[in-house]
Structure 1
Amino acid sequence: MGCIEVKNKSEEILIQEAEHVLNLKKQKSIQVDSVIRKFSLNGQVTSVQLNRISSHLKLQTKNLFPFIKIDEFYGKLRDINGNYDLKDLLVIGILLSDGESSTKAGLLYQIFDEELTGHMSLSKVKNQLLYKLVIHSCSSLPKLVSPRQASNVNLEKIEKYSDCLIEKKDTCINSVAERLAVNGNDVTEITFTEVFRTFRQGKLTSSVGWRAFLYEKYLCENSKILVSTPAITESK
């Protein structure tokens, strides 16, 4: 559906392999959301609470050879007090877990609609919700790729790929926001869920879907140079 017909991309395959090791893809999004919220307090998750979460969901939160970037990945999510922001863990958990796009979209919306009013301003959706989805999909998660993961790993290429995605962050966020703005500045949970269920076949409730979206935009805007560059498909 992009402007260039292309094959699979090696950097993307490596990222998906690294994401898979976290063991979230085997979990249902509703369960992931429920357990993370259960072991949190005042919007924060401590290291002890993260251990409880990982125990209940059987998550991989420590390095597991050859995936030696997991400790670093979680470390970068911690604040100066050593705690994790509940929103970050929920966004990552829902992006990587299993579930229908409409279910995942509703859960993502509710992370930022703290009082569950069913309404949020468009600016909050753009600057917080959509921003987090892009940053974690295209910047945080690619850092899971380990130099020992495979013989063809080139971390500079992974970083360059991530940079290409982030370059189109504002363009793609604005594109989604235009579809959400059917009622002006008020974005309801119903509207958000419907847009995320239908736009791009519901794939923007996953990190793979966001990377595909941003990379397709990058390719389209650089098509004269990148005619033969591979695109993204989800590895099995």
Structure 2
Amino acid sequence: MRKRLLLAALGTLILFPLAGWGILAIFRDNSLAIMFRSPVAVWLQIPSGIALGFALGYGAQYVVSRPFLGGVEKKYSRIIAGLKLKHWHIIFISLCAGFGEELLFRGAIQPLIGLWITAIVFVAIHGYLDPRDWKMTVYGVYMTLAIAALGYYTDYMGIIGASLAHAGIDYVLFRHLIKSGKSQFNDRIEIELPQENMFETNLDETDSQTITTEKATNTLNKPLLLL
């Protein structure tokens, strides 16, 4: 399961920019120059992009941690925690998503259809603007504003910083959801342990990991509160 996620991240990093370049090349000349536009020097984009990403990421963490969104956070934090990702996995996946998705959406699609339409489409594709789920939509509205901020950053600063900002958002959310999921798992063990002893239930660690992996597999294609 973890291997599938890492391969998907690598595919995003490789295929999304290629798709963006192909789309942009159909409608615009100098497609690569547009896609990799950098009005400001890269060495200035790196710290500012990371700072923006962490700020937006902690903002997303605040939103998803509100009591009325508790059920959403608990559901997806258990899934993320169940993947048992190492720290380098989180960094790798965040960077792949950040650069792959930004080069496609902010680099290629935004110049064609506009900043706000791109932001709305991007968040809707991730499943966060769902009229059937108002809680998820609240989170989606915040994410739309955050992605619009990345769009403005791209136009005024550059795509490299925007990509790092995107990666920063995912990194913060990954860390938060993993921490929250582990906390729920520990609380659940403490609560259920007496009952398991009463009925002499014998669920070993391998069985537990299998169940967790199956749940994660069944929900991989659903919104995970990440970008």
Query: TM-score over 0.5 for the alignment?
Result: no
Shorter-chain TM-score range: 0.3 to 0.5
TM-score using structure 1 length? 0.32
Q: 1 or 2, which has the higher helix percentage?
A: 2
TM-score using structure 2 length? 0.33
